[in-house]
Structure 1
Amino acid sequence: MLLSRSWSISLLLAAAVPLAECKIDRESIVRQFNLELSQSHSYSPVQVGNGNFAFGTDITGLQTFVPHNTLSSWGWHNSSLPTTPNQTSITDYTGLEWWTHDRLVNYAQPNPTEKDISQWMISNPHRINLGRIGLWFGGHNVSEEMLSGKHQVLDLWKGAISSSFSLNGTDVRVHTVASPETDTVAVEIRSDLLNNGALGVFLDFPYASGKSKFDAPFVGVWNATGNHTTTLKIEKRRASIRHTLDATSYITDIVWENEANIKKLSNYTHKYILEPGTRSNTLVFTVTYAPESQKSVETFEDIGKKATEWWSDYWSSGAFASLPIDTNSSAKELQRRIILSQYLLAVNGAGKDPAQESGLVNNGWYGKFHMEMVFWHLAHWTLWNKWSLYDRSIGVYERFLPASFERAKNQGYNGARIGKMSDPSGRSAPGEINSLLIWQQPHPMYFAEMEYRKFPTEKTLQKWDRVLTAVADFMVSYAWFNESTKVYDLGPPMYPVSENTNPNQTVNPTFELAYWRFGLEVAEQWQLRQDKPIPSNWRSIKENLAPFPIENEVYVLYEGVKNMWTTPSLAEDHPGLLGIYGWLPPDSRLNLSTFNKTVDKVYQSWNFTYSYGWDFPLLAMTAARLGDSERAVHWLLDPSNEFDEIGMPVGGTRVPTPYFPASAGLLLAVGMMAGGWDGFEGPVFPKEWEVAVEGFSKAM
């Protein structure tokens, strides 16, 4: 049975709980959800990191038994170009032409006659695993099952891992922390096993993968030892290892604080051993990965203090929500997901580039990031007032403008067309969906408007002016005037949010129409705020876009879709059409009665077992805006929206685990429920919940 919904503000007010008068004890709440483990997780690592660098660990606090990954923002590799005749350079790639509104348009898609260079451009560059660090047991074969008393705690407030266990009755303690500033992991090991050569540390280096779209859970090829080189250079209490993979080369700097020695392990090509000096039960060292050697030296203690300060400030600043975890099991699970998502997104989703969908845990889509997913990766920072982390990568739109201008020009459009599956250079990988998806275009308008609401300054206007103008010019150029209907159409060919339709039949999808109008409205407001004239075509096209497609009194996926509700492939995946009231503020063309019926139809007909990731936050935001807080919480905790014991969002069969748009989407939905939106003061949670919130911005 469906939970009741109401359009009335009175229900919303009944569900709202007044803001707590006293400051929330954030530290005690955060630490209640410290990870505490007794064995390694075979798929999801316990991580330390800083947004641009992440080090995944097993139960030992290193990568001893499970080869979890060490990934960074800068660590990329290109395979050798193909040697097929006429396919030896990216200039040999031509793409494909599609008939588009009475003309041929060239799209960046795999060309069957250029398979090798097309595939090279899809899979290159790819993100690399910088290396593995683990405990070395003096050359003896030791398995995790041979350890006793295994215990590991991730202290979320400090961003540090404490691991302990016994081997043959001797205790081992390992403390692991990452620098908030550099790609450095700092480690302290204490054990009597260090005295007699029975314990040390190994460092090992894999070759780049590059052939698998999903390189998970472990990144790299460990048996292709002849394809790459490592060279050791030793100095006093430090060493550097240069790792060269074709044209990619970087340095691993190892610095130790007490007497120790490092050497290449015999019979291994790329494995090195760091051993403590005699009569020492302590080994303290740092490992820094960088394109070139880093001469500055920070101690384990220095890095630990900086990490504690950074994480304490992270938790203490911005917004916070306290749910009734002692009295309600659903509230406790939602709070767990909120806290662990906040930690994991600071580690995996706060880098100089937008995050890939699996963050810095493993590789999906060769480690590349998707421009349509930038909304789901970054929007939550705005509601939670974590602007410094948002700022790290939001400049991607300005940085990618040259490539976006070129893309639009090559296709005969004005302005700048934002790509999809991208590497740090801005090149979008070939692909049919990659080249025909359009819902990423208005994202800059959303971000710019949220930023201006927080910082209504000339600096903000200047920051976004060039981007918004260029994107708006493309959006109006893309819209096609239909002489028969006298309105402007979107598509074909195109893919909607759900990516599950025939692109040659897809025209005027519901969500994209709403987002197009939203984006052009923001672009107009940007002009007015700067006392600039609004281009006449912006306004006329916005006002004359096709109406929402309706069949049998409900909105449908796109205009003319056949048997939508009974065709399994259409009534599953992303329910994007519900985003027009929840994710987005009300559209000027929205009919609430029709939308109400559409929500009921989706609830009745959608195959939610095939939904994943940001689908559930989208549903929650719609339910919240409709006043159904119970349903909003239900969607965030839906059985198909699974988060594992580490806090990783489970991807399922269609995408790799973790799938961080689910984490960021959850925080976006909670942020909206906590802070409210235009015309409504939050919070809005189930009426029996006692909720305290601090520091949230309103959604639009």
Structure 2
Amino acid sequence: MSWLAWYVGALWLVLTAPCFAAIDRLQVVDKFNPQRNSTANKTDWETPLQVGNGNFAFNADITGLQTIKPFNTLSVWGWHNSTPPPTDIILQRTNRTSWPEAEPPTPLSDPEPEKITYSEWQRRNPHRINLGRVGLLYNGKEIAAQDISETKQRLNLSSGVIASAFTLDNSSVEVETMASPSLDALAFRIQAESLEPGNLSVFLDFPYPVTNKKFEAPYMGNYRVPDKHTTTIKQWSSRAELKRQIDGTTYFVNVAWDTGTPNTKIRRVSGSHRFMFNTTSATQVNFVVHYSRSSPGFTPGFEAIKRDSKWFWQNYWKDGAFIDCTSTADPKAQELQRRIIQSQYLLAVNSAGTDPPQESGLVNNGWYGKFHMEMVFWHLAHWERWGKWERLGTVIPSIYNRFLNSSVVRATSQGYEGARWGKMSDSEGVSSPGEVNSLLIWQQPHPFYFAELEYSVFPTQHTLQKWHPILEATSRFMVSFPRYNSETKVYDLAPPIHIVSENTRPNMTKNPTFELAYWRFGLQTMSSWYTRQSIPVPSKLTEVYENLAPFPHANGTYIHSENLAGMWTDPRLTSNHPALAGIFGMLPPDPRLNYTLFTSTMAHIYERWNFTGAYGWDYALLAMTAVRMGDSQRAVDLLLDMGMDDAGYPAGGGRSGVPAPYFPSSGGLLLASAMLAGGWRELGGRHWPKGWTCEAEGFGPGI
């Protein structure tokens, strides 16, 4: 990196963050700590409160553990493969090589109908597993919701500690719950001053994975098949190690308790994988539960984890950009502020690991726990806009580097050049078979968006060189994928393809508008990437960029794709994701964009779209467009239309019946909020609704 380039980047950071001390960030954060108590006459909350570190999360019920509700404990590394069905068909032969309805036949990776059993096994495997449950027993028996009263619970967002209190058998019980920021370890403190010593016990229970549920929520695993898995135990004076074996999956659970708590032994409940311990002469116990893929050499104590948790979260809130709308009287400003703060906490817990998150993060399983490469934009791009580079750096661009070779193999096997990124993926980069998985294309330009956002903040040779191999391989695929049309003299995005909304017939879908705009954005960014490094731009790239098919339109509006002039009267085509809005919102305006057509398109979306079926990032996408069009009040209203509960968990929905939480919504909310607070490349500054007095600091230029 040259001295001048470093200086320019450093100067930009100084100029765009005039005074980080101007906002008392922790005071703002603490105003929005989630609180749940019995005054709401509710102990059956449908969502947990969470502690975690991005790679690991514990989901607690109203007791601060998993006493009443068997919520899950999830990680990025906990995966399991079930036994495959009997077959002598190797992996490559389970996928047919062309789509027969297309002309000419098009390469893809779709299940062969006659091999559907084995293909379905590939979709389900590997699947993410629940590492186990930690809860309380009273006199050796289960505690039910009706057994406790006077419940009070508070998640302190600035320390990452859940404080829970309740009454059991006329005695008060208090629980503190927290997670290590660096290890997959939990720390608990349980106080029960007036209970008889030993009446309150701690249990750990372990399930066998459920393998046939695409959506497994809110609880995961089967606790009633003990013969299918094994748990062995070793004990010492103040700790125990449990070794879990689930078919080919092995992991360890270390439990350590205060050395000042005598006579503590873990014992197994016969015929199960439940283990329990109580304290025979103490009314308080501190203990740690540490999960790991191999036997850990070290497990920290309670006080160390509590100290580290506080240090991590206070630094998290002080890092990067921040918004403070608490001085604005409009209740909508207060609600938006709550959503921003709670979303930032939840995304640090669920979406800041070494793999992209699944859509439900580390709360429950969707699509067998696998993540989706088209969703990495909504899950992760907000880290860049908010200047949380350490959080982003755990997964971007490393996931693209990790998957580069397999993506090159995928493209080559289908007759293309470069790297074709998959869709529904496991941590090894194996894309699951399926029609949508094979034909979706809007994930391909994502690397250009991430790279360009980073370069806008760090315009250095280091940034250019770090991203170049990924972008070049991606661009080679994007140049080879369009099909030249000798009649129209343009390059078509030709069938079979699935568009963003996945609601058109793939063998009839040609030149989808959003995908064309995003394709051109990617190729233009690649051209700039070459130029910035004084590398000649490949002539074929320029030829395809300049001659991609025009954005299709009819009757005064843009339309999903060619041959869909009647889309506005077809309910099937005016539901799900309104991707047309993204060509002037998520994306900067393309030189080809006709603003009159686009304005009419947005009017049609607002008037005719089936918003009863909208969910997730649909609202954020529309909000980003509204901000760019100068309608900040509409943008705020859209962000508040997004379903979100008292702790910030975004609602699910859609035609697939996606269960809550759906975290692309949270990432989208932060992206749109960053546009309100910091603008974008062509128009920086603040774009709040009239009369709002929000403060913002640390936002860099968007795209």
Task: Name the TM tier (shorter chain).
Answer: over 0.9
Name the CA distance, whole Å, in 2 between partners of 1:625 and 1:106: 38
Q: Which residue of 2 aligns with 1:12?
A: none
Q: Which residue of 2 aligns with 1:633?
A: 636
String of CA shifts for 1:26-84, please: whole Å, max 9, x gaps. Answer: 1111111111111545421100000000000011100000001000010000000111x
String of CA shifts for 1:573-617, please: whole Å, max 9, x gaps. Answer: 111011010110010100111111111111111111111111101
Name the CA distance, whole Å, in 2 between partners of 1:474 and 1:141: 57
- The CA deviation at 1:102 is 5.0
**Residues 40 and 405 from structure 1, CA distance in 2 versus in 1: closer, same or farther, beyond 3 angstroms?**
farther
- The CA deviation at 1:193 is 5.9
Name the CA distance, whole Å, in 1 between partners of 2:325 and 2:257: 44
Point out the more displaced range, 22-31 or 426-435: 22-31
**Residues 428 and 365 from structure 1, CA distance in 2 versus in 1: closer, same or farther, beyond 3 angstroms?**
same
Q: Which residue of 1 aligns with 2:217?
A: 216
Name the CA distance, whole Å, in 2 between partners of 1:538 and 1:136: 65
Name the CA distance, whole Å, in 1 between partners of 2:225 and 2:57: 24
- The CA deviation at 1:236 is 2.2
Q: Which residue of 2 aligns with 1:517?
A: 520
Q: Which residue of 1 aligns with 2:293?
A: 291
Q: Which residue of 2 aligns with 1:353?
A: 355
**Does structure 2 retain, via aligned residues, the 8 Å contact 1:325–1:335?**
no
String of CA shifts for 1:250-290, please: whole Å, max 9, x gaps. Answer: 000001113252333433420000211x3211111100100
Q: Superposed, which structure 2 residues align to 1:426-505 within 5 Å?
A: 426-505=429-508
| Matching of residue 273 in structure 1 with residue 276 in structure 2 | yes
Q: Which residue of 2 aligns with 1:71?
A: 74
- Which secondary structure state, in structure 2, belongs to the residue aligned with residue 680 of structure 1? coil
Q: Which residue of 1 aligns with 2:251?
A: 250
Q: Superposed, which structure 2 residues align to 1:537-686 within 5 Å?
A: 537-638=540-641, 641-653=642-654, 654-686=657-689
**Does structure 2 retain, via aligned residues, the 8 Å contact 1:193–1:199?**
no
Q: Superposed, which structure 2 residues align to 1:4-19 within 5 Å?
A: none
**Does structure 2 retain, via aligned residues, the 8 Å contact 1:42–1:66?**
no
**Residues 92 and 246 from structure 1, CA distance in 2 versus in 1: closer, same or farther, beyond 3 angstroms?**
farther
Point out the more displaced range, 574-583 or 189-198: 189-198
Name the CA distance, whole Å, in 1 between partners of 2:342 and 2:286: 28
Q: For the aligned residues, what is the CA RMSD?
A: 1.6
The residue identity in structure 2 corresponding to 1:297 is T
Q: Which residue of 2 aligns with 1:23?
A: 22
| Matching of residue 112 in structure 1 with residue 116 in structure 2 | no
Name the CA distance, whole Å, in 2 between partners of 1:105 and 1:658: 36
- Which secondary structure state, in structure 2, belongs to the residue aligned with residue 232 of structure 1? strand
Q: From 333, 336, 339, give the equivalent of 2:335.
A: 333
**Residues 589 and 608 from structure 1, CA distance in 2 versus in 1: closer, same or farther, beyond 3 angstroms?**
same
Name the CA distance, whole Å, in 1 between partners of 2:362 and 2:446: 23
String of CA shifts for 1:205-247, please: whole Å, max 9, x gaps. Answer: 0001121000111111111211111111112211011111100
String of CA shifts for 1:149-204, please: whole Å, max 9, x gaps. Answer: 21111000001011111212211111110000010000011113665321010000
- The CA deviation at 1:324 is 4.0
**Does structure 2 retain, via aligned residues, the 8 Å contact 1:19–1:692?**
no
**Does structure 2 retain, via aligned residues, the 8 Å contact 1:581–1:622?**
yes
Q: Superposed, which structure 2 residues align to 1:121-520 within 5 Å?
A: 121-192=122-193, 195-257=196-258, 258-276=261-279, 278-324=280-326, 327-394=329-396, 395-520=398-523
**Does structure 1 retain, via aligned residues, the 8 Å contact 2:457–2:701?**
no
Name the CA distance, whole Å, in 2 between partners of 1:262 and 1:538: 68
**Does structure 2 retain, via aligned residues, the 8 Å contact 1:264–1:270?**
no
Q: Percent identity?
A: 49
Name the CA distance, whole Å, in 1 between partners of 2:152 and 2:133: 21
Name the CA distance, whole Å, in 2 between partners of 1:260 and 1:54: 30
Q: Which residue of 2 aligns with 1:7?
A: none
Name the CA distance, whole Å, in 2 between partners of 1:341 and 1:676: 20
Point out the more displaced range, 150-159 or 448-457: 448-457
The residue identity in structure 1 corresponding to 2:221 is G
Name the CA distance, whole Å, in 1 between partners of 2:75 and 2:326: 37
Point out the more displaced range, 194-203 or 519-528: 194-203
Name the CA distance, whole Å, in 1 between partners of 2:612 and 2:670: 22
Name the CA distance, whole Å, in 1 between partners of 2:457 and 2:154: 37
Point out the more displaced range, 18-27 or 363-372: 18-27
Name the CA distance, whole Å, in 2 between partners of 1:477 and 1:310: 46
The residue identity in structure 2 corresponding to 1:576 is A
**Does structure 2 retain, via aligned residues, the 8 Å contact 1:508–1:546?**
yes
The residue identity in structure 2 corresponding to 1:451 is E
**What TM-score comes out, normalization by structure 1 length?**
0.95
- Which secondary structure state, in structure 2, belongs to the residue aligned with residue 491 of structure 1? coil
- Which secondary structure state, in structure 2, belongs to the residue aligned with residue 107 of structure 1? coil
**Does structure 2 retain, via aligned residues, the 8 Å contact 1:20–1:693?**
no
The residue identity in structure 2 corresponding to 1:336 is R
Q: Which residue of 1 aligns with 2:14?
A: none
Name the CA distance, whole Å, in 2 between partners of 1:217 and 1:105: 40
**Does structure 1 retain, via aligned residues, the 8 Å contact 2:74–2:131?**
yes
**Does structure 1 retain, via aligned residues, the 8 Å contact 2:106–2:496?**
no
Name the CA distance, whole Å, in 1 between partners of 2:263 and 2:692: 56
Q: Which residue of 2 aligns with 1:93?
A: 94
**Does structure 1 retain, via aligned residues, the 8 Å contact 2:321–2:698?**
yes
- Which secondary structure state, in structure 1, belongs to the residue aligned with residue 269 of structure 2? coil
Q: Which residue of 2 aligns with 1:60?
A: 63
**Residues 440 and 547 from structure 1, CA distance in 2 versus in 1: closer, same or farther, beyond 3 angstroms?**
same
Point out the more displaced range, 90-99 or 544-553: 90-99
- Which secondary structure state, in structure 1, belongs to the residue aligned with residue 150 of structure 2? strand
> Unaligned regions of 5+ residues in structure 2, if any?
1-16
Name the CA distance, whole Å, in 2 between partners of 1:326 and 1:687: 11
- The CA deviation at 1:560 is 1.2
**Does structure 1 retain, via aligned residues, the 8 Å contact 2:229–2:245?**
yes
**Residues 102 and 272 from structure 1, CA distance in 2 versus in 1: closer, same or farther, beyond 3 angstroms?**
same
Name the CA distance, whole Å, in 2 between partners of 1:507 and 1:404: 24
**Does structure 1 retain, via aligned residues, the 8 Å contact 2:267–2:277?**
no
**Residues 321 and 520 from structure 1, CA distance in 2 versus in 1: closer, same or farther, beyond 3 angstroms?**
same
